[in-house]
Structure 1
Amino acid sequence: MTSSTFRSARAAMAACALALATACQPVRPSTAPEPAAALEAREWTAQSPAPEIAAWAWQGCRRAAGGAGPCVERALVSLIDQAGVGKSMEVLDTLAGREPVVKALAHSLAHGLGISAYRSPETVAQTFAGCPASQMSGCYHGVVQGYFLDLGAKGQAIDRTVLDGLCAPHGDKPFLYFQCAHGMGHGLMTVHQNQLPMALEACDQASDAVVRESCYGGAFMENIVNALHPHHTATGHAQTQGEGHGQHAAADAHGSGGHDAHAAAPGHGEWKALDPADPRYPCSVVDEKYQASCYNMQSSPVMQWTQGDLAATARMCAGAPEGMRLACFSGLGRELTAWMAQDHGRSIEACRRVGAATGTREQSWCLVGAAETLINQTADARDGIRFCRAVDGGEAKRECYEAAGRFMRTLVATPEGRAEQCALAEPEHVASCRQGARLDPSASDD
């Protein structure tokens, strides 16, 4: 994979993978959704104030017997037909800003809302575009999962025409295009019963190299989620939402064979999702074309296995093949933003400790991954600019600003808009941002 292809695809990978670090507090599934009955019967519309709906949901769910998370998910799902998925997400954003337990689950809940918002192949593009970018774009990914669950339930073949057609309506909007392709990887894992080799081969059918790479990232993330946090998978959402709540309970049962990480993948023999005894597995066994996407995700399980041991995770990345170390260390930077509660100073210090354990170059890669992730969280490049301003060191700061500018290309369509945002950088680093944003004739992706 070329460096430019990986960097473009990484924009979509970062969208979802940050949630793995916050998934240590899992949504507890409920086979009987009675806790939702504690909610006062109310009718809402798209014009209803989000804070008022959020207060209603929390009042009914904060002491729910099955846990607040599942109850909140069902409450938000119930809003979709009344007020639309955009309003449901606005309420989720409000709750996440007020309640720590909801904040920790917000990306996963956004996936669940996207799955439930999906209605049909004919309306999938419209539903997808109706999602907001908040909560690390989880709603986008959920809509795409819902689409594949639907196709799987109908026994429809998923071929190149299907894959190329799904994201094509968003081709003129790079941010949405990448989110669609990343969600594709999640959906294909569900259709193929969480068998990673089969999902990766399905991703290979897409014509666009950037779509393939982003699809790989979604598949590797879902592989980790299924092994470590099965309640965050599409199956987990169907169980939580229960009959009559989630649209895809039946489809999901068809499309996912449960959470057996050791089931056999046809033509591949027994498949093992992860191996704590081999922290670089499955990256160490998949084809080389998949390895950058894999290593970009691999810090997620390693950080969890080691309970946040930076040095141990950095050593895992340092032992990756030379061409994959950038992907691994930038993925570690992504994870650190979650472990450090999105605190810029703490994230920068954590990357400094990564550098102390491995090297200056690795510290810069870590900082780049953190900057890209902070931008992707809000779909606002100014968040990356603010992070880069706090970075010490000329070369590390330069690379940070260049990465912010590079990511800007997926968010800001016009050169004038990118130039306006780069102008917010420290004067001596405006040129670096412009270089990444392809605003100068000498700009390149290398």
Structure 2
Amino acid sequence: MKCKAVRAAILGFLLTLAAGVPLGAQAGVEPGLDWTRVTERDLNVASVFLTARDRGPRAALDSLERLAAQDPWIRAKGHPLAHAIGRYTMEQRKDLGVIGECTPRFQSGCFHGVLEGYFLQGGTIDRASVGSICAGQVRGFERMECWHGLGHGLMVHHAGDFRQALTLCDALQADQPRRECQDGIFMERAIRAIGAESINVGDGPGIGGHAHGAEGHEGHATARSLAAGAREGAAARVMAKVAARTERQQLCSGVDSGHQRSCWAYQSMVLMSLNWPHYPRALRGCDAAPAQAVRDCYQGFGKQMLGVSSGDVPRMLEACRQGDPAHATDCLMGGVEYFTDLDWRIEPGIAFCRQVPGEAKARCYEMIGARLTLAHTDPEPVRAACRRVEPAYVRACLAGAGMRES
């Protein structure tokens, strides 16, 4: 138990460094920490940030990828660690241009972390300048990840006030940047609502471990209080727990209609956390969304399901079947988003579409085509990738990319 506590303290120390907090400000780090208990994993994680310091975020992400290939724990924490690399590098360089050294590995966490770091350092932005913050990104997916990271960063900038953050996202003129920025805000809000330990697109630890475990601890505390005869105190805690659960279930209730789709796309994360592992109950929560947002909630559920199961497609297919059949394909579309977001290579998404039921294949490959246009500005790589899908669906892939067969 002591080893675990020491290890947790060391890892917290490393991640706090990564967040850009000066050593002198780290009240939770004890000078007498027993470094003889540092594990190989602790040292491996530390080495990633030494690489970021000495050689920049691209090399650090290469290092993290090599470690993740050998250590399942690091692989599961890849996205929050990539966020931390971005924040740390921003702290070191103090130049937003460092975002150009990020890569899409680990669900593009580095892009998001750089934007968080910008605001953690007191970076400013207003309605006039918000449109230029991601202008330096050349490829479509880089701009998209930059806009998404901006949403996370604005939540940092406004201390979690999502309404203030949204006013700046809404100032973006084009639909896609505006939606990506809004998604970043509502993703950050959902993460905070479930008490996840860090930002994680996959959200496995936050759903299956941290958040669910927290409820278990509350239950044990209540049982002990009842056993001691403190019935009134226990009842108050139960009522507080019920109130908190109700509040999380209704995160989107006070959101205006123009932001409902983004809100419900990540409300699925909250529903999964509250109802884990009862998929039908979580999907019934999606059914309660406004009509225009039900599809977004189901798609978000599919994406989060793959995250919590480390990409287990059969498990995700089964979970998607347990909701309203009319939205089963919407749920499956979360798989295209999940697999292409991993590192913006299209092959994992194509492999996923090969596994979906026949009635969902055309739409699956259409979405592949749409994602390809974000990864490539040149149409030829898009056409070449669409030719690699199942022959019957080449036309669907091209249609999703806005192209025709030549």
Q: TM-score, normalised by structure 1?
A: 0.71
Other-structure match for 2:348: 383
Q: 2:109 aligned to 138, 161, 180, which one?
A: 138
Q: Report the equivalent of 1:277.
A: 246
Matched, 1:149 2:114: no
CA distance in 2, matches of 1:290, 1:36: 47
CA offset digits 1:215-255 (Å, max 9, x no partner):
11111111122233364269xxxxxxxxxxxxxxxxxxxxx
3-state SS in 2 of match to 1:298: helix
Given the alignment of the two structures, is residue 205 of structure 1 paired with residue 171 of structure 2, yes or no?
A: yes
Q: Secondary structure at the match of 2:375?
A: coil
**Distance between the aligned counterparts of 1:175 and 1:36, measured in 2?**
43
Quote the residue 2:208 is aligned against. none
Aligned twin of 2:314: 345
CA distance 1:314–1:413, shift in 2 (3 Å): same
Aligned alpha-carbon RMSD (Å): 2.8
**1:394-446: CA deviation from partner (whole Å, max 9, x where unpaired):** x21111111111111111222211111111111111111111111129xxxxx
Instruction: Show the counterpart of 1:81.
Output: 53
Q: Hey, what's the Cα distance between the residues in 2 that align with 1:26 and 1:307?
A: 29
Given candidates 301, 322, 329, the residue that maps to 2:270 is 301
Letter in 2 for 1:32: V
1:368 corresponding residue in structure 2: 333
1:159 to 111, 126, 129: 126
Residues 35, 382 of structure 1: alpha-carbon distance in 2 compared, 3 angstrom cutoff: farther
- Amino acid of the structure 2 residue aligned with 1:434: L
Q: CA deviation at 1:386?
A: 0.8
The yes-or-no answer on 1:100 pairing with 2:76 is no
Q: Which residue of 1 aligns with 2:29?
A: 32
In structure 2, do the counterparts of structure 1 residues 33 and 343 end up closer, same or farther at CA, with 3 Å as the change threshold?
A: farther
Q: How far has the Cα of 1:38 moved from its partner?
A: 4.4
**Aligned pairs (5 A) from 1:406-445:** 406-440=370-404
Report how many residues are paired.
342
Answer yes or no: is the 8 Å Cα contact 2:340–2:346 preserved in 1: yes
1:373-407 deviation per Cα after TM superposition (whole angstroms, max 9, x unaligned): 111112011211111111122x2111111111111
| Residue 348 of structure 1: how far off its partner (Å) | 2.2
Change (3 A) 1:291 1:34: farther
Q: Structure 2 vs 1, CA of residues 329 and 28 (structure 1 numbering), >3 Å: closer, same or farther?
A: farther
Change (3 A) 1:87 1:277: same
Structure with the larger RCO, 1 or 2 (CA within 8 Å, 6+ apart): 1
In structure 2, stretches of 5+ residues that fail to align are 1-7, 14-27, 201-242
- 3-state DSSP class of the match of 1:167? coil
Contact 2:87-2:113 within 8 A present in 1 as well:
yes
Q: Within 1, Cα distance between the matches of 2:9 and 2:356?
A: 33
Counterpart amino acid of residue 370 in structure 2: R
Q: Deviation at 1:150? A: 2.2
Q: Could you tell me how far apart the structure 1 residues matched to 2:32 and 2:88 are? A: 19
Match of 1:331 in 2: 300
The residue type paired with residue 352 of structure 2 is: F
1:26 Cα shift? 13
> Cα–Cα, structure 1 residues 407 and 107, in superposed 2: closer, same or farther, change >3 Å?
same
Letter in 1 for 2:88: S
Rounded Cα–Cα distance in structure 2 between residues aligned with 1:223 and 1:401: 31
Partner of 1:227: 193
Residues 381 and 404 in structure 1, CA contact (< 8 A), matched pair in contact too? yes
Gaps of 5+ in 1: 1-24, 40-58, 235-273, 442-446
CA contact (8 A) 1:402 1:434 kept: yes
CA distance in 2, matches of 1:28, 1:218: 26
| Structure 2 equivalent of residue 44 of structure 1 | none
Distance 1:26 1:344 in 2: 35
Aligned partners of 1:408, 1:207: CA distance in 2, in Å?
23
* Deviation of the 1:162 alpha carbon: 2.9
Distance 2:133 2:38 in 1: 38
Distance 1:389 1:107 in 2: 26
Change (3 A) 1:136 1:34: farther
The one-letter code matched in structure 2 to 1:107 is H
Greater helix percent: which structure? 2
The 2-side partners of 1:317 and 1:135 are apart by 27
Partner of 1:244 in structure 2? none
Identify if the C-alpha distance between structure 1 residues 84 and 343 changes in structure 2 by more than 3 Å, giving closer, same or farther.
same
- The corresponding residue for 1:129 is 100
- 1:307 is displaced (CA, Å) by 1.7
* Structure 1 residues 144 and 275: alpha-carbon distance in aligned structure 2, compared to 1, 3 A threshold: same
Residue 74 to residue 417, structure 1, CA distance change in 2 (3 Å): same
Give the Cα separation in 2 of the matches to 1:33 and 1:116. 21
CA shift in 2, pair 1:313/1:231, >3 Å: closer
Q: Is the 8 A contact 1:340 1:346 kept in 2?
A: yes
Q: Is the 8 A contact 1:226 1:233 kept in 2?
A: no
Q: Is the 8 A contact 1:26 1:232 kept in 2?
A: no
Post-superposition Cα deviations, 1:299-349, rounded to whole Å, max 9, x if no partner, equal 112111212321011101111111111111110110111122202232223
